Amino acid sequence: MKRNQHVLPHPQGGYQVKADGADRATKRFPTQKEAIAEGRRIAKNQKTELVIHNKEGQICEKDSYGHDPFPPRG
């Protein structure tokens, strides 16, 4: 099953890449930039969506690398 990847702040500092519904992080990084790069790589490989959260945990960006149900016009 393909699951979207989330880049979230880690409770003990830094950022983590975590799949939808996972109990544990796939990987932890010291910076958000590194976590985004890994999350993007996984999402492209699995053709899923990358969901980036800010330091407060709110979604600030989404990138789709799979079947987009709402593709942009034009």
42 part of a folded domain = yes
Q: Does 20 map to a domain?
A: yes
Give the number of other Cβ atoms within 10 Å of residue 68's Cβ. Answer: 9
At residue 66, the pLDDT reads 79
Residue 38 lies in a domain: yes
Answer whether residue 34 is part of any domain.
yes
**Residue 72 covered by a domain:** no
pTM of the model: 0.86
Specify the amino acid at residue 68.
D
Q: Given this model, what pLDDT does residue 2 score?
A: 81
The residue segments making up the domain with residue 26 are: 5-63
Model pLDDT, residue 70: 64
What is the pLDDT tens value at each position of the chain, 74 positions in all? Answer: 789 999 999 999 999 999 999 999 999 999 999 999 999 999 999 999 999 999 999 999 999 987 666 666 66
For residue 73, give every residue at least 6 positions away whose Cβ sits within 8 Å of its Cβ, in sequence order, or none. Answer: none
- Per-residue pLDDT, 25: 96
User: Is 71 inside any structural domain?
Assistant: no
For residue 56, tell me if it sits in a domain. Answer: yes
Question: Number of structural domains, the chain?
Answer: 1
